[in-house]
């Protein structure tokens, strides 16, 4: 018979203890998943606390009704002591809510929407494709 390393503890209780330890480890790492910002000469500890509050507010997404449809990129800038939020598009109410909830440490920058296709290939195809068709028809008419 093999002796248990837990000094007589049942296998079920050791599995339960392992699960609890794993859940506590995962819960602790989920809270600390945000960026670890260090105070600098231009950004004192009080400002770092404000930056963390702004990040928590933006991540909560309580300010939007379409919580899964807005692509957000949060960039902490400790040198300028602000949080830069890169977004594609916001309506005026969402922007006002962000400024109100994020405070003065939150800056919003809009990304250019690259999803719209360019009309240049279509124009070039019409011009050069159309001229090629005219050339083909004129050549066929001569023969």
The domain spans of the chain are 39-118
Q: What is the pLDDT of residue 102?
A: 82
What digits encode the pLDDT tens for the residues 43-72? Answer: 888 888 888 888 888 887 655 555 555 667
Q: What is the pLDDT of residue 65?
A: 54
* Residue ranges in the chain whose pLDDT is less than 50: 1-4, 27-32
For helices 45-60 and 92-102, give the axis angle rounded to 10 degrees: 150
Q: What is the pLDDT of residue 28?
A: 45
Contact of 134 with 126, CB cutoff 8 Å: no
Give CA torsion, residues 57, 62, 66, 71, to 10 deg: 10
One CATH from 3.30.300, 1.50.10, 1.10.101, 3.40.50 for 39-118: 3.30.300
- Shortest CA distance to 105 belongs to which of 42, 34, 31? 42
- Look at the pTM and tell me if it is higher than 0.75: no
Q: What is the pLDDT of residue 58?
A: 81
> CA 3, 9, 14: angle at the middle one, nearest 5?
110
Give CA torsion, residues 25, 63, 35, 46, to 10 deg: -110
């Amino acid at each position: 018979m093999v002796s248990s390393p837990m000094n007589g503890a049942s296998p079920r209780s050791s599995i339960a203890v392992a699960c609890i330890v794993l859940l506590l480890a995962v819960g602790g790492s989920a809270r600390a998943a945000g960026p670890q910002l260090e105070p600098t000469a231009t950004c004192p500890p009080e400002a770092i606390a404000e930056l963390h509050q702004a990040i928590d507010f933006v991540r909560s997404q309580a300010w939007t009704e379409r919580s899964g449809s807005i692509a957000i990129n949060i960039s902490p800038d400790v040198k300028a002591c602000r949080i830069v939020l890169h977004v594609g598009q916001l309506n005026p109410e969402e922007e006002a809510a962000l400024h109100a909830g994020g405070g003065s440490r939150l800056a919003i920058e809009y990304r250019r929407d690259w999803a719209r296709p360019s009309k240049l290939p279509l124009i070039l195809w019409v011009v050069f494709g159309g001229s090629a068709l005219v050339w083909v028809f004129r050549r066929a008419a001569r023969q």
